[in-house]
Chains A and B, each alone.
Chain A
């Protein structure tokens, strides 16, 4: 049994995905020795949050077949909601200190952001995508993609119109003295953001794996008509998926508020990076989006370190283009319907 398991591991190591993962870990270690372990720490912290955004994107593509271009805007909505929840809370705390509230205030903000993001996702599905689905299903992937493009333009400019272009950011969530990890000082907020991301990923995984609703979502992603036949409420599942995906993105936006202040186009960078992840691992492949998040974060960190800031879109997008040319189904492949049929 153990032998066959190690054998399977070896087989996997020889596949494209295995080679990439092994290489990435090796490169990360070499870079860590070469220029300091902070590269690894940076990779892990940004990779965690990136994975959240990418998982939402992959989920929405896998289940609903929508290539979401407006996903970064839900990141923006999340950060905006967190800002407007957290700032009054800190003001209240300044007048009447309360250590318990101070400890959970960031959590309240992030939870609130998640709810706002999920509701926004629900509204989008109800007002936009289900309307299109009712009217025409031909050419769905391309049409829904263009719809999300319009949605993205509307949301970015609505933010600008209603809340202005200035940076709406906070200095810290929890604050406190930075911790020392492998000789690098990492702020507590970053560590907690990473821990939070991993908890959310874990909860999400458990939800998808062990609850009936999660099973239903996976069933719809594998075969929609089959799912309909066994009595799954497709429309409900689609609504839920949209809310979940957008909620994940909003959590990432809220969790990184101390790094990325909220402004109209804050969502573009996470959007690009999340798309890199999704293309890298294969469209609609939710599980490996987690791995891909770390790989893309590593590529970005390495580019900034060795080539210079400002190249961090050029090099990853060229690499992703190469992946797309030689392995369009992604490094880890994907068995989700709709990847290659338009």
Chain B
């Protein structure tokens, strides 16, 4: 009786984890991230700042991967959508005195609407046009923000109120971590549903998807809009965490950073980018701060890693994990790493 009961227990835990799209290793990772700001080398404020930056990039990588890994569209103006959300939220807070929390939501909705319109125009074309058009859109918006000084203060930078009344970074860290997890679970849910199947079908073979009755434009637009909404939400966080916005935020190089992280993490896995962002961003920051006499070295490493991964190991870290690490001989370890019980 007792053993039966405990079986029921683990069954429930498994089901909850399955619902949340997490493996035991994933849960352990989240717990690790929750306690890491109190572990000695990481409990300095500048380290927590790096952790926040890493979590932000990780969350962005999830949203970016959601488009590139599933419907095979490169949103090359990703940071334009993020910046649009950020500026919307900041302008509402500065000019109308709106609470940053509500501003973030409105910014997300605005970005989603912009993404919807862009998607409506571009996503009926083949992928490369969508990439070009989002890129041009980003350029145009960067120019507009630079020029509309009366509203955005242009290159001088727009100061905006912060979310919390403290100088500590810890509340921000927990907020962005929560956002990261919620974004992961939301996107994973969507990709597990029937809609996710349609996304994959479109990404793998457009013609086959079309012949089996999937309307590619509809699904692409849904996917793109969701990704842009997340971008806008994260933009709101960016604005109210760093407290200052410049048009440089919308620049393509920022998108390249997210793109590199998403690819190194593993395209189409969603969790890969979020995971790899932490070690990767912290290493990059270490390189940048310790080798400051060699500017740009970290970006060279970015570009080289992106190219090497694309050529030699297109699956990225997620594929490496799934092939070599996820299925060890030991049953307990296998359960821990992949969440699969039966042999």
- A interface residues (Cβ-Cβ under 8 A, vs B): 67, 128, 131-132, 135-136, 139, 141-143, 145-147, 149-154, 156-158, 160-161, 165, 264, 272, 275-276, 279, 283, 310-311, 313-314, 317-318, 320-321, 324-325, 328, 340-342
- Is residue B72 contacting chain A, with contact meaning CB distance below 8 A? yes
B121 touches A325 (CB 8 A): yes
Q: Please name the residue on chain B nearest to A128 by beta carbon.
A: B307
In the bound assembly, the distance between CA atoms of A342 and B125 in angstroms comes to 10
Which of B8-16, B103-111, B308-316 lies at the interface?
B308-316
A342 touches B206 (CB 8 A): yes
Min Cβ gap A148→B in Å is 9
- Is residue B29 contacting chain A, with contact meaning CB distance below 8 A? no
21 contacts between A and B (CB under 8 A): A67-B128, A131-B312, A143-B314, A145-B128, A146-B310, A147-B311, A150-B306, A150-B307, A153-B303, A153-B306, A154-B307, A157-B296, A161-B294, A311-B147, A314-B139, A317-B136, A318-B140, A321-B136, A324-B122, A328-B125, A342-B72
A161 touches B121 (CB 8 A): no
Q: Determine which of A161, A275, A314 lies in contact with B140 in the assembled complex, contact meaning CB atoms within 8 Å.
A: A314
B140 touches A160 (CB 8 A): no
What residues on B are CB-neighbors of A149 within 8 Å?
256, 259, 306
Min Cβ gap B306→A in Å is 4
A132 touches B311 (CB 8 A): yes
What residues on B are CB-neighbors of A154 within 8 Å?
299-300, 303-304, 307
What residues on A are CB-neighbors of B303 within 8 Å?
150-154, 157
In the bound assembly, the distance between CA atoms of A19 and B190 in angstroms comes to 47
B129 touches A324 (CB 8 A): yes
What residues on B are CB-neighbors of A156 within 8 Å?
296, 299
- Is residue B146 contacting chain A, with contact meaning CB distance below 8 A? yes
Q: Please name the residue on chain A nearest to B203 by beta carbon.
A: A139
| Given contact pairs A151-B303, A342-B128, A311 touches B296 in the complex (Cβ within 8 A) | no
Q: Which of A160, A283, A341 has the most CB of B within 10 A?
A: A160
| Given contact pairs A67-B128, A150-B260, A153-B299, A314 touches B311 in the complex (Cβ within 8 A) | no
In the bound assembly, the distance between CA atoms of A292 and B128 in angstroms comes to 20
Q: Determine which of A150, A157, A160, A320 lies in contact with B310 in the assembled complex, contact meaning CB atoms within 8 Å.
A: A150
A324 touches B143 (CB 8 A): no
In the bound assembly, the distance between CA atoms of A141 and B73 in angstroms comes to 11
What residues on A are CB-neighbors of B133 within 8 Å?
321, 324
Min Cβ gap A142→B in Å is 6
A141 touches B302 (CB 8 A): no
B306 touches A272 (CB 8 A): no
A146 touches B259 (CB 8 A): yes
Q: Please name the residue on chain A nearest to B144 by beta carbon.
A: A314
- Is residue B137 contacting chain A, with contact meaning CB distance below 8 A? yes
What residues on B are CB-neighbors of A158 within 8 Å?
296, 300
Q: Known pairs A276-B136, A324-B129. 14 more at Cβ < 8 A?
A: A67-B132, A135-B311, A142-B128, A146-B263, A150-B260, A150-B304, A154-B299, A157-B297, A275-B136, A310-B146, A314-B139, A317-B136, A317-B143, A340-B126
Min Cβ gap A4→B in Å is 36
A151 touches B307 (CB 8 A): yes
B72 touches A139 (CB 8 A): yes
In the bound assembly, the distance between CA atoms of A279 and B139 in angstroms comes to 15
Q: Determine which of A131, A147, A310, A341 lies in contact with B126 in the assembled complex, contact meaning CB atoms within 8 Å.
A: A341
B147 touches A310 (CB 8 A): yes
- Is residue B161 contacting chain A, with contact meaning CB distance below 8 A? no
| Given contact pairs A142-B74, A317-B137, A147 touches B121 in the complex (Cβ within 8 A) | no
What residues on A are CB-neighbors of B74 within 8 Å?
142, 145-146
Min Cβ gap B43→A in Å is 32
In the bound assembly, the distance between CA atoms of A28 and B150 in angstroms comes to 32
B297 touches A147 (CB 8 A): no
In the bound assembly, the distance between CA atoms of A314 and B139 in angstroms comes to 7
What residues on B are CB-neighbors of A165 within 8 Å?
295
Q: Determine which of B125, B297, B314 lies in contact with A324 in the assembled complex, contact meaning CB atoms within 8 Å.
A: B125
Min Cβ gap A321→B in Å is 6
In the bound assembly, the distance between CA atoms of A157 and B296 in angstroms comes to 5
Q: Determine which of B128, B140, B256 lies in contact with A317 in the assembled complex, contact meaning CB atoms within 8 Å.
A: B140
- Is residue B127 contacting chain A, with contact meaning CB distance below 8 A? yes
- Is residue B57 contacting chain A, with contact meaning CB distance below 8 A? no
What residues on B are CB-neighbors of A151 within 8 Å?
303, 307
In the bound assembly, the distance between CA atoms of A275 and B299 in angstroms comes to 24
Q: Please name the residue on chain B nearest to A70 by beta carbon.
A: B303
A272 touches B304 (CB 8 A): no
In the bound assembly, the distance between CA atoms of A136 and B312 in angstroms comes to 10
What residues on A are CB-neighbors of B306 within 8 Å?
146, 149-150, 153
What residues on B are CB-neighbors of A145 within 8 Å?
74, 128, 131
- Is residue B142 contacting chain A, with contact meaning CB distance below 8 A? yes
Q: Please name the residue on chain B nearest to A320 by beta carbon.
A: B136
Q: Determine which of B128, B129, B131, B256 lies in contact with A153 in the assembled complex, contact meaning CB atoms within 8 Å.
A: B256
- Is residue B289 contacting chain A, with contact meaning CB distance below 8 A? no
A153 touches B302 (CB 8 A): yes
| Given contact pairs A150-B260, A150-B306, A310-B146, A131 touches B311 in the complex (Cβ within 8 A) | yes
1/0 contact string of B283-300 vs chain A (CB within 8 Å): 000000000001111011
A160 touches B128 (CB 8 A): no
Which of B183-235 touch A at CB < 8 Å? 206
Q: Please name the residue on chain A nearest to B131 by beta carbon.
A: A145
Min Cβ gap A288→B in Å is 18
A314 touches B143 (CB 8 A): yes
What residues on A are CB-neighbors of B7 within 8 Å?
none
In the bound assembly, the distance between CA atoms of A206 and B263 in angstroms comes to 43
What residues on B are CB-neighbors of A341 within 8 Å?
126
Q: Please name the residue on chain B nearest to A313 by beta carbon.
A: B143
| Given contact pairs A128-B307, A150-B307, A157 touches B137 in the complex (Cβ within 8 A) | no
